[in-house]
Amino acid sequence: MPQIVVLPHHILCPDGAVLEASAGTTVCDALLQHDIDIEHACEKSCACTTCHVIVREGFDSLNEAGETEEDLLDKAWGLEAQSRLSCQAVVADEDLVVEIPRYTINHASENH
């Protein structure tokens, strides 16, 4: 079973985490199942960017991003080449290292 290494996030996962995820599970669902409360304002329907993650290792093992996801990612805070919406990124058979950005568009507008 693939592992997802979650890098430390100041609020959601201060010490980081290593969790197991079944192939076919989205990164978002895997995080939520392990009590990492990543924001998902659109209820995982690929209509916002609040579940944005950066896949530091294992990016190429994920399913390909669709056009809607790519368009939304253009609006994500802290966008990088290996950014994905975690609600759309499906775990395959390779381990992943995932970073949850410090802010989402929702948090950036509310806090700064």
The pLDDT tens digits of the residues spanning 20-51 come to 999 999 999 999 999 999 999 999 999 999 99
Question: Which option is the CATH number for 3-111: 3.10.20.30, 3.40.640.10, 3.40.50.150, 3.90.320.10?
Answer: 3.10.20.30
Domain ranges across the chain: 3-111
Give the per-residue pLDDT at 103.
Answer: 79
User: Model-level pTM?
Assistant: 0.92
Separation CA 11–CA 85 (nearest Å): 19
For 48-93, write each residue's pLDDT tens digit.
999 999 999 999 999 999 999 999 999 998 999 999 999 999 999 9
pLDDT band for position 106 (cuts 50, 70, 90):
low
Q: What is the pLDDT of residue 64?
A: 97
Q: In whole angstroms, give the CA distance from residue 93 to residue 66.
A: 20
